[in-house]
Amino acid sequence: MTLLEAILLTVITASTPLVIAAIGELVVERAGVVNLGVEGMMIMGAACGFAAAIMTGSTFIGVLAGVGAGVAMSLIFALLALGLAANQIASGLALTIFGLGLSGLVGASFIGAKREAMPKLDVPVLTDLPFVGPVVFGQDPFVYISVLLVVSVWWFLTRTRAGLVLRACGENHTSAHALGYRVLRIRLFAVMFGGGCAGLAGAYLSLAYTPFWSPGMTAGRGWIALAIVVFASWLPWRLLMGAYLFGGITILQLHAQGMGVRIPSQLLSALPYLVTIVALVVISRRRSGWNAAPGALGKPFSRDY
Amino acid sequence: MRLVIARRQDVPGWLKLVSPLYAIALTLLSGAAMFAALGVSPTTGLYTYFVSPLTDAWALQEVAVKATPLVLIAVGLSLCYLSDNWNIGAEGQLVIGAVFGAAVAVATHGAPNGPWVLPAMIVAGMVGGALFAMIPAILKTRFQANEILTSLMLVYVAELLLDWLVRGPWRDPHGFNFPQTVMFEPEAQMTRLMDVGRLNISAPLALLVVAVAAILLARTLKGFEIRVVGEAPRAARFAGWDPRTLTWTVFAISGALAGLAGVVEASGTLGQLQPNISPGYGFTAIIVAFLGRLNPIGCLAAAIFLAVTFIGGENAQIALRLPLDVTRVFQGMLLFYILACDAVIAFRFTIVRGDASGATA
Amino acid sequence: MDQAVGSAGSTPLVAMHAIVKTFGDLVANDCVDLDIREGETHALLGENGAGKSTLVKILYGLLQPTSGRILWRGAPVSLPDPKAARRLGIGMVFQHFSLFDAMTVAENIALALDDARAVNDVADRVVEVSRSYGLPLEPGREVWTLSVGERQRIEIVRCLMQNPRLLVLDEPTSVLTPQETGVLFETLGRIRAEGRSILYISHKLEEVRTLCERATILRHGKVIAACDPRTQTAAALARMMVGADVGAARKAAGALDGPVRLAVRGLSLPAPDDHGVALREVRLEVRAGEILGVAGVAGNGQGELFNALSGETPAPDAAAVVMDGVEVGRAGPNARRALGGAFVPEERLGHGTAPGMTLTDNAILTGHATHGLVRRGFIDRAAAQAFVDRIVAAFDVRKGARDPAARTLSGGNLQKFVVGREMLGDPGVLVVAQPTWGVDAGAAQIIRQALVDRALAGGAVVVISQDLDELFEIADRICVMFNGALSAPAPADGLSREAVGLLMGGHGESNARETQPCAS
């Protein structure tokens, strides 16, 4: 395996949780809701996924538990932000604080536990192809799932009627309501999808990426996923690009540290966060026209009583 | 008989006061359930968390020590949130404040110094926090970059900067390679108020900040401006106020107060810089601000309550072997319940007798 | 109540019986009966706040009645949601369009069709249907690039594509030019010729008299009368609607030779954002004693003009705006207020007032600049309360509590409060936008009279309004805003509505240009 292959492989694995968490949040935001609790849902996915996998010995059940934890967390958010029309920003923050704490409780007895990382795909002949083999045919299932998710979300949003309705709710919930669409129900499904994706991304971290549990192991990835959605101007394909860009920077700084570049390691570690800020600035400055944020983003909807 | 839910046009004042108390009550109930689930007697658990910190003088002092940075930051955040500026990077501003303050202490260490050192540290810390907070503010007004994300990203940057300083240039040469600075000279430490305990002059300083902020918000045109910008930004422009200038102002104030909290931690509580100087005060203060209804005096009460949970959490870790995360769970639940109660009081629930429902004559 | 006009014969297409709808303590509909026959054009008349919108929302399934029942061709039906209404054959054209700006025409129409068809098929059908009704539409255009008239076409076409038996139109002409209104009436004629029923909601009496065979009149949520509007005079209909005679504002034809108090000289401003309109070389002069009316279809730069006059958007050149001889182009709102300027924005809630704040707070909002409510940065609450009391007394503002939140006041009372707040200081220059939009007739009359009186007392008044009747009633001269440019003002006497209408549509010979607003 060449160095380039190795770098590319690690970039892909580092980007995958960002892709999964961000594509979920993209759907949530296209429906007109901002859920800032991605970090909290993600770390709960990581903790519950790992705990379930250790207890049952099944990676698959672990993944299911991670997704379930993310959905459960998103339901708390939905109750507040949709059911009670509470402030979405504060509700999302609460979810993150709560998730960071609760994941510590759930994971406390699993610190130090070890299990095998999820096996990577191994197709005879194909995986052995030079370069293309390991990069395209030698990944763990999550990587394929993440790409599949992006493609399906793109197809759903642009090619299906349900996707059209979801975008309509995000664009103008008053009009959508006037046409008879159940804005809150549609948003609930979107929020649950976002929660499931965040949980899945968390499960990926503790089951395939590291693979062990440590408190706070998401390390701000949930927040970066939120930034990627803005960076992508709410478009699935750009999101894929954005996530790989951020994953790439994370890996490059690791390699730079490993190669003993004479820059403080802390500066290199800060790079992904600094790049996020720069990317936000560049994108926000360039952003114009209607090709930007959904019209009703972050605005609570409530019916007349 | 059926339940009729109607949105209130005007929420009565007494409900706004009572709603945080409901939130606390619901948190305690959920906490009891959580203790039961963790195999701890709910009464013992709740007593350890919420009562034991109030039972002896030393613990009471510690409550004040923890409440001080919380209330300082929360007052600043309240100004931000009232004006619809979502600064959630107070933790980073705290760290930078501590770094700026410590720079004075480290530079004057061992050199002839005098009583001017501590005030210089406080000023430096506040300036540092304010400058650091201005970054998301300017990115917001100049480039429309989302301040929630930028201010949060800067927290990680600030923590890594602190980490580099205490492991690199500022490491105590006689500190056995521990990642920490020298212990500050006495002139560079907050004056203690009692012979025993860590209570220092920062506590009365925080009370002063609360009083000034309360007067600012309730009595002055500037405070009025802050409220109008958050409530109706177009009306604020109509009133002749520039929301951009206000964004800079509230970010600068809240950054300065977070920076002050950083100096308080470095110079008052620890006496040096370490890689972790705050147990998440910058984030907990968000909860304090909401529990205190974005009102400075409310923030004071809320800060004391949350400080109690910090001490309670430490007590529970020792006495009941419960992880410190329980404290965060409490804090997250509390914020949920505050938001829920505030949303629920916006509706009026009445039970109507008799009357048929639906479209029948 | 008796069926006033020939109730015998066939069963009505739809009959609403004893409809009651309450919102908390407010009774929006109080035992309302309404029936619409096959093929008839039926008017629902009433003032703002009479309960018309609530009633049609119930008919369209958007609201559930507290009690009462609905019969469709004699059979009781329940309408839990708009889909059910559409299935029966009820189509609705909303007053505030229910469109999605960032989406294409075809997507907007597909969203209102209940059979799941692909957007591409919808696009083909749109072209077909829109052509057959003389309502041309390009399915691929995004809505935000279209004019108001074109947006209304989308609403109508998407109703027609469902082949409705009953078409409900809520105040359809309030945003149209007279010419566009003519086109709409032709379309409605075609729809009626196909045997469809129309429920036409309006408070414009002449329209109702030309268009409708029957009318139901609502006042304070109750049916006051049902009649044939063609046999009634407009005055008689107005009396039924308002419950009293409505007078026009008294006005003496002032001699327009006073000094110029407000002058705008070649003001050009870039569009504030992608959906805004750039101001192009705007010129106007308003003399003491004069009311200048600015007509125009919504979204042609009126909001931008208001902001430029109030100082919310300062001009690059100080000489662009002159008040009483002082160049104030670069000054903000408070500097202009200090010079005797006062401004009433179109949006009462959110722009003119902070909705959740009390009247006292809202008095401070603009009063802080001129009424001595602030001393050394500290607010004098007692002075502010006294200021509120004077506004309330002078303009007959009805409020429940001592100091209620702005949003709890009715539209008319809040508007009286805002107008009063701005007028109590006897401003030399007064700029008002849509002063009687969504306001009941009584309040509207008080407000118009106050504007006329201000001019008579020597003030210079600019009234920006989409309501041509209002402008012709009170303005001395009228100009038209189109695509960010202002036509040369002409004396209101002797000016025809048709001429104004042409300018509103961009077909004038003056400096209005032949370009589409917001062209992409």
Distance CA A79, CA B82 (A): 24
Can you give the CATH number for the domain in which A92 is found?
Answer: 1.10.3470
User: pTM value?
Assistant: 0.87
A126 is a domain residue:
yes
Hey, what domains does chain B have and what are their CATH numbers? 2-352 (1.10.3470)
List chains touching B (3+ CB pairs under 8 A).
A, C
Of C24, C312, C351, the CB nearest to B6: C24
Closest CA relative to residue A31, chosen from A302, A274, A299, A224: A299
- Count of structural domains within chain A: 1
Structure tokens at A159: 């090619």
Chains A and B: how many Cβ contacts under 8 Å? 141
Give tens-digit pLDDT for B238-297: 999 998 999 999 999 999 999 999 999 999 889 999 998 998 899 999 999 998 989 999
Max intra-chain CA distance, chain B: 91
Assess C310–B contact: CB distance below 8 Å, yes or no. yes
Q: How confident is the model at residue C121 (pLDDT cuts 50, 70, 90)?
A: confident
Smallest CA–CA distance from B346 into chain A, residue: A84
Q: Say what the pLDDT of residue A1 is.
A: 59
Q: Is the residue at A255 inside a domain?
A: yes
Count of C-beta atoms within a 10 Å radius of residue A130: 9
Q: Do C100 and A179 touch (CB under 8 A)?
A: no
Using a CB-CB cut-off of 8 Å, the residues of chain A touching B139 are: 277, 280-281
When pLDDT is averaged across residues C162-173 and rounded to a whole number, the result is 90
Angstrom distances, CA of residue A216 to CA of A98, A269, B33, B275, C169: 12, 16, 25, 16, 57
Interface confidence (ipTM) of the complex: 0.86
Q: What is the pLDDT of residues B131-184, one digit of tens each?
A: 999 999 999 999 888 898 899 999 999 999 999 999 988 998 888 888 899 888
Q: How far apart are the CA of B11 and the nearest CA of chain C, in angstroms? A: 10
Residue B194 burial (CB < 10 Å; 0-12/13-18/19+)?
Answer: exposed
Mean pLDDT, contiguous 10-residue spans, chain A (305 residues): 79 93 97 95 96 92 96 96 89 92 90 79 70 72 92 94 94 91 95 98 92 89 91 90 90 80 84 88 64 76 62
Least CB–CB distance from C365: residue in B222, B239, B356: B239
Cross-chain Cβ contact A98/B328 below 8 Å: yes
Cβ atoms of residues C377 and C495 within 8 Å: no
Q: Structural domains in chain C?
A: 14-242 (3.40.50.300), 247-340+427-520 (3.40.50.300), 352-419 (no CATH)
CB-CB under 8 Å, C107 with A290: no
pLDDT in tens, C170-226: 888 877 888 888 888 998 999 999 999 999 998 788 888 889 999 999 988 899 889
Inter-chain residue contact C357 with B237, CB threshold 8 Å: no
Q: Which of B84, B167, B329 to mutate to test the interface with A (most CBs of A within 10 A)?
A: B329
Single out the residue of C228, C103, C89 nearest to residue C161, CA to CA: C89
- Shortest Cα distance, chain A CAs vs residue C307, angstroms: 22
**Are A164 and C274 inside 8 Å of each other by CB?**
no
Dihedral of alpha carbons B198, B202, B206, B207, sign: positive
Please, which pLDDT band fits residue C311 given cuts at 50, 70 and 90?
very high
CB atoms within 10 A of CB C283: 16
Nearest to B295 by CA among B71, B22, B87: B71
Distance between CA atoms of C378 and C373, rounded to whole angstroms?
Answer: 9
Of A17, A275, C291, C223, nearest in space to B154 by CA: A275
Task: Evaluate if residue C1 carries a pLDDT over 50.
Answer: no
CB contact under 8 A, C351 and B9: no
Partner-chain contact B221 C347, CB within 8 Å: no
Closest in B10, B219, B240 to C369, CB measured: B240
Q: What separation in angstroms does the CA of A47 have from each of A73, A113, A207, B335, C395?
A: 13, 12, 10, 22, 64
Residues B258 and B278: their CA atoms lie apart, in Å, by 11
pLDDT tens digits along B325-359: 888 888 889 999 999 998 888 777 777 665 444 43
In sign, the C-alpha dihedral spanning C473, C475, C476, C478 is negative
Which residues of chain C does A288 touch, with a Cβ-Cβ cutoff of 8 Å? 274
The two three-digit tokens of residue B297, written as one number: 């005096």
Own/partner contacts of C275-278, CB < 8 Å, gap of 24 or more, are C275/C101, C275/C144, C275/C518, C276/C303, C276/C304, C277/C301, C277/C304, C277/C483, C277/C484, C277/C517, C277/C518, C278/C304, C278/C484
Q: What is the 3-state secondary structure (H, E, C) of C357-420?
A: CEHHHHHHHHHCCCCCCEECCEECHHHHHHHHHHHHHHHCCCCCCCCCEHHHCCHHHHHHHHHH
What is the Cβ-side half-sphere exposure of residue C369, based on CA atoms within 13 angstroms? 25
Residue type (1 letter), A227: A
- A285 contact C CB<8A: no
Q: Is B244 on the interface with C (CB under 8 A)?
A: no
Q: In this structure, are residues C318 and C266 in contact, taking their beta carbons and an 8 Å threshold? A: no
* Interface list for A 79-98 with B (CB within 8 A): 79-80, 84-87, 89-91, 93-95, 97-98
Contact A178 C98 (CB under 8 A): yes
Count the neighbouring beta carbons within 10 Å of the beta carbon of residue C296: 24
In a domain, A305, yes or no: no
* pLDDT at residue C512 greater than cutoff 50: no
Whether the CB of A281 is below 8 Å from some CB of chain B: the reply is: yes
Residue with tokens 């109690």: B308
Which of A101, A226, A269 has its CB closest to that of B332? A101
User: Which of C100, C107, C143, C145 is the best substitution to test chain A (most A C-beta atoms within 10 A)?
Assistant: C100
Beta carbons of C295 and C473 less than 8 angstroms apart: no
Distance from CA of C205 to the nearest CA of B (A): 32
Sign of the C-alpha dihedral, residues B361, C3, C9, C11? Answer: negative
Q: Which domain does A96 fall in, by range?
A: 3-286
